[in-house]
Amino acid sequence: MSADGWSSVLVLGGIRSGKSEFAESLVAGAPSVRYVATSAGGEDDPEWRGRIEAHQRRRPQSWTTEETGADPGRLAGLLAEAKPDETLLVDDLGGWVATLLDPANQPNDDVATVAALADAVRACAARLVVVSPEVGLSLVPATPVGRAFADALGTANQALADACDRVAFVVAGRPTWLKAEEVSTSHDAMAAATPPPATTAPAARVTTAAAAAPLTASSGSTATFEAVDPGTAIEAGMDLPLPDSDAGPDARDRLERLDLPGGGIGALLEAVEFAAATQGTATPRPWGPVRVLLIDGRHAGGAAAGTDPAEADRRAAEAEAGEGALARLAATADADVTVVRVPPSGAMEDGPVLDAATVDAALRQGWELAAAAAEDGREALVIGACGTGTEAAATAVMASTTGAEPVATLPRVLVPGARYDDDAWMRRCAAVRDAMHRIRQEPRGPKDVLAQVGGADLAVAAGALLGAAARRMPVFLDGPLGIAAGLVARDLSSQSRHWCLLADAGRLQLVRQGADVLGLTPVLDLGLDLGEGANALAALPLLRSAIALAGALPVHPALLTAPGDAGLDDTGDAAFAEPDPRGPGPASA
């Protein structure tokens, strides 16, 4: 049994009860999950295929899938083979029972097979969650086959309920624990204690974050946010997972052999390698739906010089209504937008912008935002900003963590009409300069930097980066807020930066220099300046196209010729030098 009191959970529920979503939330914090699908057949049933595809879209891309197929004994074998450091999710037992009763598997001692499965659950070394339909609350089926299925599934449910450490029953998305104490997760507690958010019909999902209160959704989905595991401390030295170090180079090598009419995919190779590493496969697939976290932070003092709070309010309202550049790009990139309003931050030149408790709360809320995105089936995050004073705060963070010269990295102040307000820029410079002088002898730990000059918006963004890394979810950085948050997250967990991608370098020296410190190579150099978050969304379709090609195209026919033919060595590989998949460069042109 694990440290938090359970190794196996049986989740029961009726049709559309939310049992699968709840089961998935129990394993959301695991570094990786083996999803065991028990359903067999149904290829000719469009409605059944639609249900399966909905389940597939909801799973994080870091999960692997195994199918038990038409062999009911295969499930017990998988459980026996599982290792102690693995997490398995079996969905669901109804499919397994249907396979067990299939005439092709008869005659068979069904009771003995169920007992063997229960024994395998008891002996399973991995952490295990099993989903099963509860059929005992409906009418007795009218057909012999239906009665046989209900009887067999009821017997199986009883056997596994006895074998598992915990048993939960889900009704209308609300779990009730039937056996022992609750599993150490806040999903069920929040579901029971938090009323469903009000639902309207805007295009964006709107979230309001407060310093001392849990995140609540004011529109869109009714899913609750998973709180940070009490055992997870957001402190410097956090140990988070890393992407697969072999998959990226393997994907690059594979590109050299693909049936492409030209010389390669150029700079887009960076995106293919990143997708391969974060998905753990040399044949990555394009990212599915993504979530934009549009963080609305307000900074006081000189950091906000030249900004109009009413303009920031308008940008946030546009995103909430599904209007404006960001929302339009999101609609074409299969993305939804979460507007996150955070507490105001003080004037950096006068003193700390946040207290320590608010820093911790903001980091935790960012972690929860990443957890919510994973629960909702989003496969990547995009960090964006629409507040006031964020660029100056990001400059101060970069100066504090890297020693960069603020005057060289602070972006100019752009005002409506494509004009620059240099007086406002000088006031921002003075605020950053005074803040740097004020903290010259203060500690420079990541939380210290957030409290002294960073603010709530950067803390929430840094927490989201850490939470995404914990769930093996890629993050697209795009602008000063994302880069500064990446620097803070790196100092809390060095692994976090490996889950970040910079789609376009943009025009800002702060972004280019910060990306260099983080070791991020921009995929593109389009010089986009559409607003933080919008640049990544504009580039995303192109990145998806490159990844789709890399994963779908076969090896060139000329490289499949039998060994011994001209141009091939004894292994069947090309004996001549092949072109770089990025295309000709200075050395080969």
Burial environment of residue 347 by CB neighbours within 10 A (0 to 12, 13 to 18, 19 or more): middle
User: How would you write 100-131 as a 3-class SS string?
Assistant: HHCHHHCCCCHHHHHHHHHHHHHHCCCEEEEE
Q: Locate 86 and state its tokens.
A: 């693995």
Other C-beta atoms closer than 10 Å to the C-beta of 582 total: 16
Burial environment of residue 426 by CB neighbours within 10 A (0 to 12, 13 to 18, 19 or more): middle
Residue 431 near residue 349, CB atoms below 8 Å: yes
Residue with tokens 């299969």: 334
Alpha-carbon span 191 to 375, nearest angstrom: 14
Alpha-carbon span 42 to 52, nearest angstrom: 10
Other C-beta atoms closer than 10 Å to the C-beta of 558 total: 12
Alpha-carbon span 234 to 242, nearest angstrom: 17
Identify whether 532 is a catalytic site residue. Answer: yes
Phi, psi of 304 (to 5 degrees): -95, 15
Residue 5 near residue 181, CB atoms below 8 Å: yes
Helix then strand then coil, % of the chain, to nearest 5: 45, 15, 40
DSSP state of 205: E
Residues in the chain: 589
Nearest to 431 by CA among 399, 462, 457: 399
Nearest to 470 by CA among 358, 368, 339, 337: 368
Catalytic residue among 21, 379, 391, 532: 532
Residue 267 near residue 581, CB atoms below 8 Å: no
Nearest to 517 by CA among 535, 497, 546: 497
Residue with tokens 């939804």: 336
Residue 259 near residue 556, CB atoms below 8 Å: yes
Alpha-carbon span 293 to 460, nearest angstrom: 10
Q: Locate 561 and state its tokens.
A: 């010729």
Instruction: Indicate the SS3 state at residue 306.
Output: coil
Phi, psi of 107 (to 5 degrees): -75, 150
Contacts (Cβ under 8 Å, ≥6 apart) of 363: 234, 447, 450, 459, 460, 462, 463, 466
Maximum Cα interatomic distance, the chain, rounded to a whole number of Å: 86
Distances (CA, A) of 320 to 199, 215, 332, 360, 535: 13, 17, 16, 27, 19
Alpha-carbon span 152 to 102, nearest angstrom: 12
Strand partners, 5: none
Strand 174-179 to 64-67 pairing: unpaired
Q: Any idea which residues carry the catalytic annotation?
A: 532
